[in-house]
């Protein structure tokens, strides 16, 4: 029989919260009292984004985690992001509002299988997308994010053989952009694989002036149609700078909150998925709620721990990514 822990609904919080509490004020108070910083990804609920000290894409969040002077990093995102923060700032306490906030892409690459895969290509360098476990990072030479993957591959000599994992869609996009022959791990994100080319084509007929913005985790059939491809920060910047007033957005729906906030006069339409589900909501990202954020700051739990031997190995490829990004001004 399932335990209650396994069947409890998404927004369920274990501890009762006084309904009269102003959670925004309480979170703000705890932030000051505990010298905590809240880092939030663009896929978080709007209210979490609004209370965060910093909102960003995976690269921006890693850069913030590496340089913060706070004692506690509260990571409003998913497990691999909080793990990356812990690896970069191991002496700090890193909290994640819901420990179950995982990632289908990270799950698609079990470290023991990747180890065997890597052994087949002993002369290859390993580049891993940050959306993977700490153990996988520990087996890598360089980590990358969607905003620097192309540049990181380009920074290596042309003859360098490369394994790229775990996202096959981002890998295929990088291979196409750089003209390199990359050995790809067959992983993908459940949210970005769901968009329907047919439905987007129909939507474009209804909104002929709309630009299609797509994240590189989408399949090639979607990327082929896109007017702009980029990380969440890239998509947000493009939507603000571009003169178009209508955008179809092929990525997780949370980014629409900032797009709409920065551009109140523009229209943002979430790209339709293959079926009628709310599939462009990432079920992992959306496990975090304002209530859980408050409780995790109050109780300083759940906390993220990464074994010391993994930290020692995983920090090198992450720092390499940060160095290359700094050199490139990213
Ligand atoms: P970026 O915000 O770095 O583009 O990553 C998207 C993503 O899928 C995070 O889980
Ligand atoms: Fe993972 Fe996809 Fe969710 Fe990002 S959107 S956390 S890649 S499952």
Residue closest via CA to ligand 1's atom 4 equals 231
d(CA 92, CA 288): 21
Per the prediction, the chain carries an average pLDDT of 95
- Does ligand 1 lie within 6 Å of residue 135's CB atom? no
Are 262 and 290 a contacting pair, CB within 8 Å?
Answer: no
Which atom of ligand 2 is nearest the CA belonging to 283? 3
Q: Do 4-102+285-299 and 197-270 fold alike per CATH?
A: yes
In CATH, the architecture of 105-188+312-328 is: 3-Layer(aba) Sandwich (3.40)
Please state the CATH superfamily assignment of the domain spanning residues 4-102+285-299 in this structure: NadA-like (3.40.50.10800)
pLDDT, one tens digit per residue, over 118-172 is 999 999 999 999 999 999 999 999 999 999 999 999 999 999 999 999 999 999 9
- Does ligand 1 lie within 6 Å of residue 145's CB atom? yes
- The three-class DSSP label of residue 31 is helix
- Does ligand 1 lie within 6 Å of residue 89's CB atom? no
pLDDT, one tens digit per residue, over 256-277 is 999 999 999 999 999 988 877 7
Q: Distance from the CA of 58 to the center of ligand 1, in angstroms? A: 6
Q: Identify the CATH number of the domain defined by range 197-270.
A: 3.40.50.10800
Q: In sequence order, what DSSP letters do the residues of 204-272 get, joined into one string?
A: HHHSTTPEEEE-TTS-HHHHTT-SEE--HHHHHHHHHHSS-SEEEEES-TTHHHHHHHH-TTSEEEEPP
Enumerate the β-bridge partners of residue 303.
95
Which atom of ligand 1 is nearest the CA belonging to 217? 8
Residue closest via CA to ligand 2's atom 3 equals 282
pTM above 0.75, yes or no: yes
Which atom of ligand 1 is nearest the CA belonging to 130? 3
User: What residues flank ligand 2, with Cβ below 6 Å?
Assistant: 43, 78, 103-105, 131, 189-191, 252, 282, 284-285
- The three-class DSSP label of residue 92 is coil
Q: In sequence order, what DSSP letters do the residues of 272-283 get, joined into one string?
A: PBSSSS-TTS-T
- The three-class DSSP label of residue 137 is helix
Map out the domains of the chain as residue ranges.
Answer: 4-102+285-299, 105-188+312-328, 197-270
- 100: CB partners within 8 A, 6+ apart: 284, 287
């909501």: which residue's tokens? 281
How many residues appear in the chain? 330
Which atom of ligand 1 is nearest the CA belonging to 252? 8
pLDDT value of residue 228: 98
Per-residue pLDDT of the chain (330 residues; tens, 9 = 90+): 456 556 565 656 778 899 899 999 999 999 999 999 999 999 999 999 999 999 999 999 999 999 999 999 999 999 999 999 999 999 999 999 999 999 999 999 999 999 999 999 999 999 999 999 999 999 999 999 999 999 999 999 999 999 999 999 999 999 999 999 999 999 999 999 999 999 999 999 999 999 999 999 999 999 999 999 999 999 999 999 999 999 999 999 999 999 999 999 999 999 988 877 767 899 999 999 999 999 999 999 999 999 999 999 999 999 999 999 999 999
Structure-block tokens of residue 20: 């009269």
Mutate to test the pocket of ligand 2, among 56, 185, 191 (most ligand atoms within 8 A of CB): 191
Locate the DSSP E strands across the chain.
Answer: 36-41, 54-56, 72-76, 93-95, 125-129, 142-144, 162-165, 182-184, 211-214, 228-229, 246-250, 267-270
């Amino acid at each position: 029989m399932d335990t209650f822990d396994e069947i409890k609904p998404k927004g369920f919080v274990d501890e009762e919260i006084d309904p009269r509490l102003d959670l925004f004020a309480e979170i703000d108070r705890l932030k000051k009292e505990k010298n905590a910083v809240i880092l939030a990804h663009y896929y978080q609920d709007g209210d979490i984004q609004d209370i965060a000290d910093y909102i960003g894409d995976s690269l921006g969040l890693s850069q913030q985690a590496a340089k913060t002077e706070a004692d506690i990093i509260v990571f409003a995102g998913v497990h691999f992001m909080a793990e990356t923060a812990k690896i970069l700032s191991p002496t700090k306490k890193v909290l994640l509002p819901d420990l179950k906030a995982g990632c289908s892409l990270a799950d698609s690459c079990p470290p023991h299988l990747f180890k065997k895969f890597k052994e087949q290509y002993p002369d290859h360098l390993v580049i891993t997308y940050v959306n993977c476990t700490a153990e996988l990072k520990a087996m890598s030479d360089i980590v990358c994010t969607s905003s620097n993957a192309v540049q990181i591959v380009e920074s290596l000599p042309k003859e360098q053989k490369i394994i790229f994992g775990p996202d096959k869609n981002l890998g295929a996009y990088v291979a196409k952009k750089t003209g390199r022959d990359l050995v790809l791990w067959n992983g993908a994100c459940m949210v970005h694989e769901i968009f329907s080319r047919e439905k987007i084509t129909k939507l474009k007929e209804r909104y002929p002036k709309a630009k299609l913005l797509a994240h590189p985790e989408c399949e090639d059939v979607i990327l082929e149609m896109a007017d702009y491809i980029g990380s969440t920060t890239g998509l947000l910047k493009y939507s603000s700078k571009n003169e178009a007033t209508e955008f179809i957005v092929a990525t997780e729906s949370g980014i629409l909150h900032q797009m709409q906030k920065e551009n109140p006069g523009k229209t943002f339409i979430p790209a339709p998925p293959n079926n009628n589900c709310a599939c462009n909501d990432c079920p992992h990202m959306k496990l975090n709620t304002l209530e859980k954020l408050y409780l995790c700051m109050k109780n300083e739990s759940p906390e993220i721990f990464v074994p010391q031997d993994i930290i020692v190995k995983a920090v090198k490829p992450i720092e390499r990514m940060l160095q290359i990004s700094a050199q490139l001004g990213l």
